[in-house]
A and B are shown apart, each in its own frame.
Chain A
Amino acid sequence: GESVGLHLPTLSVQEGDNSIINCAYSNSASDYFIWYKQESGKGPQFIIDIRSNMDKRQGQRVTVLLNKTVKHLSLQIAATQPGDSAVYFCAENFNFNKFYFGSGTKLNVKP
């Protein structure tokens, strides 16, 4: 299930299950979005992106859904693996290449 920690909400899933991580973005003018994965002590790693003229984009084991009406993004990870454990951030772009990050969700994959 999903719980709210001190600063980061945490999503715990069983290995092999699908994960859905949600993000609410702030600016209706945002036209480009990226999901990043950040492991402890490391910089963010690009996962998948989507432009505002799309509502869905698929990658390898990951899918991003965009709902502009409610300013909502989601990241779906299929067959979650222990290596997927990390903090996931969505980032929005609305000011010429500047990205603003959401608050993040910690994904904990249980073996």
Chain B
Amino acid sequence: GAVVSQHPSRVICKSGTSVKIECRSLDFQATTMFWYRQFPKQSLMLMATSNEGSKATYEQGVEKDKFLINHASLTLSTLTVTSAHPEDSSFYICSARDPGLGVTDTQYFGPGTRLTVL
């Protein structure tokens, strides 16, 4: 299957700082990527859809000014958590669909980024 990477895998930051997480599709071009957040022992919650060359679309209840998304190329989407607070500590996961696979809508997930805000 298609490979999606994330960087960093783990980050610890102080409250009030901003953190950038990168999501890359390694062997395919992704016009659309998705960002999820997962709290311990809970399911993945879709935060936003990242569209190459246009604005991201956010799910209800997700603050667009808090979670800035940039999808500047067909292989890279970034999520910036601005002015992070301890309640933003979570596991952030991105996914991408490989349109080159044809009719499948399968999404492939990155390995996730563990964010801890002190």
A: residues with CB less than 8 A from B are 5-8, 32, 34, 36, 41-46, 49, 89, 93, 97-104
Question: Judging by beta carbons under 8 Å apart, are A41 and B105 in contact?
Answer: no
Contact of B112 among A5, A42, A93 (CB under 8 A): A42
Q: In the complex, A97→B97 CA distance in Å?
A: 8
Question: Judging by beta carbons under 8 Å apart, are A89 and B105 in contact?
Answer: no
Question: Judging by beta carbons under 8 Å apart, are B111 and A43 in contact?
Answer: yes
- Interface residues contributed by chain B, number (CB under 8 Å): 27
Question: Judging by beta carbons under 8 Å apart, are B105 and A101 in contact?
Answer: no
B: residues with CB less than 8 A from A are 1, 4, 6, 32, 34, 36, 41-46, 49, 91, 93, 95, 97, 104-112, 114
Question: Judging by beta carbons under 8 Å apart, are A89 and B44 in contact?
Answer: yes
With a CB–CB cut-off of 8 A, which chain B residues contact A99? 34, 46, 95, 107
Question: Judging by beta carbons under 8 Å apart, are A43 and B41 in contact?
Answer: no
Contact of A100 among B6, B41, B42, B46 (CB under 8 A): B46
Q: In the complex, A98→B33 CA distance in Å?
A: 10
B11 to chain A, nearest CB (A): 14
A67 to chain B, nearest CB (A): 21
